C-alpha cells in the first residue's frame, strides 16, 4: 500500500485559471502550514530527514515574511547556486524572472562555458542589487541551505521535527 511521507502546501503564483485563488491571507496560509507542522509524521528511517524538514520549515517561514510582510529576508542565490534548465537547453536564474542567461546549445551543452559570460554576471549583479525577492519555494529553500546564518534556525526546526517522527504508523 502507498503511504505518504510528506505533505505541503505551495503558495499560488504565476498565471493560474482562477486568479482569486492567489488572495490568501497570511492567517489562513499560516493556519494550514501550522497544521502540517504539528501533525505527527510517519517514523522516518532516513537519518537526515528531520534536517530536510527543518529546511522546509524555515523556507515556509521565509515565504510568509516575504509574501505577506513584504520583507527582504535574504539575498537570493538564484543564478549562482540555483539555475533552471528548460527542455530546450534555455538556462534561467529562476522560474519567476522569466529571463534567460543563455542556451546550452550555444555553448556545446557545457554549463561552465555558459556561466563565464557577462550576461550571467550581469544577472547575478542585478539580483543582488535589486534585492530580488519572491515566492519561488525552490529559490527560498536554496537561500536557506546556502546561507550559514540560517543553520541555527534549521537545526532548531530539525530538532522539533525529530519529536514528530517517533510514532510507527506502519502497524
Residues 124 and 137 in one domain: no
Cell reading at 49:
530527514
Distance CA 100, CA 8 (A): 29
Residues 27 and 70 in one domain: yes
Residues 123 and 89 in one domain: yes
Residues 70 and 154 in one domain: yes
Q: Does 6 map to a domain?
A: no
- For 83-95, write each residue's pLDDT tens digit: 999 999 999 999 9
Q: Does 105 map to a domain?
A: yes
pLDDT at 42: 64
Q: Across-strand partners of 92?
A: 84
pLDDT at 118: 82
Residues 26 and 70 in one domain: yes
Residues 137 and 124 in one domain: no
Q: How far is CA 63 from the centre of its chain?
A: 9
Q: Does 64 map to a domain?
A: yes
Is 6's pLDDT higher than 80? no
CA 106, 111, 114, 120 torsion: positive or negative? Answer: positive
Summary count for the chain: helices (H), strands (E): 6, 3
Residues 69 and 138 in one domain: yes
Q: Does 14 map to a domain?
A: no
pLDDT at 153: 97
Residues 30 and 105 in one domain: no
Residues 148 and 161 in one domain: yes
Q: H-helix or E-strand containing 153? A: helix 151-162
Domain of 138, in residue numbers: 22-74+133-165
Residues 27 and 108 in one domain: no
Q: Is 84 helix (H, G, I), strand (E, B) or coil?
A: strand
Strand pairing class (84-85; 102-103)? unpaired
pLDDT-based confidence at residue 171 (cuts at 50, 70, 90): very low
pLDDT at 169: 44
Residues 155 and 124 in one domain: no
Q: How many domains does the chain have?
A: 2
Is 80's pLDDT higher than 80? yes
Q: Does 61 map to a domain?
A: yes
- For 105-163, write each residue's pLDDT tens digit: 999 999 999 999 888 999 999 999 999 999 999 999 999 999 999 999 999 998 887 76
Residues 39 and 115 in one domain: no
- For 33-72, write each residue's pLDDT tens digit: 888 877 766 666 777 888 988 999 999 999 999 999 999 9
Is 166's pLDDT higher than 60? no
Amino acid at each position: 500500500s502507498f503511504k505518504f511521507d510528506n505533505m505541503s502546501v505551495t503558495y499560488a503564483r504565476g498565471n493560474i485559471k482562477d486568479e482569486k485563488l492567489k488572495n490568501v491571507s497570511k492567517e489562513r496560509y499560516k493556519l494550514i502550514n501550522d497544521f502540517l507542522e504539528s501533525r505527527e509524521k510517519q517514523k522516518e528511517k532516513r537519518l537526515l530527514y528531520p534536517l530536510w524538514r527543518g529546511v522546509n520549515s524555515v523556507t515556509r517561514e521565509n515565504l510568509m515574511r516575504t509574501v505577506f510582510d513584504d520583507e527582504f529576508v535574504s539575498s537570493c542565490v538564484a543564478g549562482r547556486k540555483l539555475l533552471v534548465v528548460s527542455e530546450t537547453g534555455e538556462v534561467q536564474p529562476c522560474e519567476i524572472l522569466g529571463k534567460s542567461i543563455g542556451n546550452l546549445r550555444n555553448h556545446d551543452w557545457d554549463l561552465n562555458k555558459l556561466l563565464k559570460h557577462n550576461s550571467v554576471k550581469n544577472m547575478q549583479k542585478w539580483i543582488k542589487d535589486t534585492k530580488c525577492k519572491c515566492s519561488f519555494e525552490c529559490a527560498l529553500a536554496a537561500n536557506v541551505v546556502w546561507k550559514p546564518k540560517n543553520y541555527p534556525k534549521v537545526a532548531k526546526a530539525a530538532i522539533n521535527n525529530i519529536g514528530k517522527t517517533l510514532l510507527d504508523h506502519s502497524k
